[in-house]
Structure 1
């Protein structure tokens, strides 16, 4: 599937299955051009396998989010109002598939702290632990590491901002 500017999402070592992504994007294109209907919730419910030499997940997630906005804009008026609700199953999958760039020679967040917090969020979404609120996400603080394996601070902060927004829409 070619994006709006005629390019494909970048291929990375471990990414989303290209055939699955292409099939969904074709379905979306068809729905936007008068083909079989497809709702934003249908798109949110889709999951992609992680495979070797797949599409970059971040780029695909951004593209799919843009497609969801287009489907909502083209949908019936009753489906257009307000921000869409986020399904907990989609949210769990999105969190589980999150990948952050590693840093070693500059300051980064402690990998264990970030991973433990995201596991806590997932447990809350699944009902196995108290739910994590958007305020909890905004208030979380991680240890920083300077010379060891860590996650890129800006990438994690950006993800957490999107996570807090998504939790508000549950």
Structure 2
């Protein structure tokens, strides 16, 4: 348990009274289920530096452990989630994507890729059925051997990032 940990004292370190008070609040939260302290509260906490205080690195490591415990035991409404992606930002990101040419190698047909991304944008704007992350991962494009094509690796990496962003949307 967090309060049972003996913290080393350093010549200059965190104020022991302030650290002990926070650790007591964290312990009460974890033991009794009262949500008086959240992981964000712990992250925002700053301590005074004093002579004969707790070793800063040891306290920081202990607080990182406390943050993990608070996140894993908090009620569903308090558990961290990935931040949502704003549709306007996502549309701009898609529209500004530039893919290098495949050169003399086979590449994805430019028209297919562009049309697919236009459908994704239309879905984000509400003009068409929204595309899901699964739709993005399962899409397939024709390849061109001669002519203008997009580099397949670059398009595939972009689509993986797009699928991850849509999961957060």
Q: TM-score range by the shorter chain?
A: 0.5 to 0.7
Where do 5+ consecutive residues of structure 2 fail to align?
1-42, 46-66, 68-76
Where do 5+ consecutive residues of structure 1 fail to align?
1-73
TM-score normalised according to structure 2 size:
0.53
**Is the deviation greater in 155-164 or in 80-89?**
80-89
Query: What is residue 20 of structure 2 aligned with on the other side?
Result: none
Query: What is residue 159 of structure 1 aligned with on the other side?
Result: 158
Structure 1: which 4+ aligned runs deviate by more than 4 Å?
74-80
Query: What is residue 143 of structure 2 aligned with on the other side?
Result: 144
Query: What is residue 99 of structure 1 aligned with on the other side?
Result: 98
| Preserved CA contact (<8 Å) 1:104 1:147 | no
The alpha carbon displacement at 1:79 in A equals 10
Query: What is residue 64 of structure 2 aligned with on the other side?
Result: none
Q: Kindly tell me: are residues 103 and 86 of structure 1, through their superposed partners in 2, closer, same or farther at Cα, counting changes over 3 Å?
A: same
Q: Kindly tell me: are residues 75 and 84 of structure 1, through their superposed partners in 2, closer, same or farther at Cα, counting changes over 3 Å?
A: farther
Q: How does 1:58-73 map to 2 (within 5 A)?
A: none
Q: Kindly tell me: are residues 147 and 79 of structure 1, through their superposed partners in 2, closer, same or farther at Cα, counting changes over 3 Å?
A: farther
- Does structure 1 residue 119 correspond to structure 2 residue 115? no
The alpha carbon displacement at 1:125 in A equals 0.1
Query: What is residue 48 of structure 1 aligned with on the other side?
Result: none
Aligned residues: 97
The alpha carbon displacement at 1:83 in A equals 1.2
* C-alpha distance in structure 1 between counterparts of 2:96 and 2:129, whole Å: 22
Query: What is residue 83 of structure 1 aligned with on the other side?
Result: 82
* C-alpha distance in structure 1 between counterparts of 2:44 and 2:91, whole Å: 26
TM-score normalised according to structure 1 size:
0.53
* C-alpha distance in structure 2 between counterparts of 1:160 and 1:97, whole Å: 14
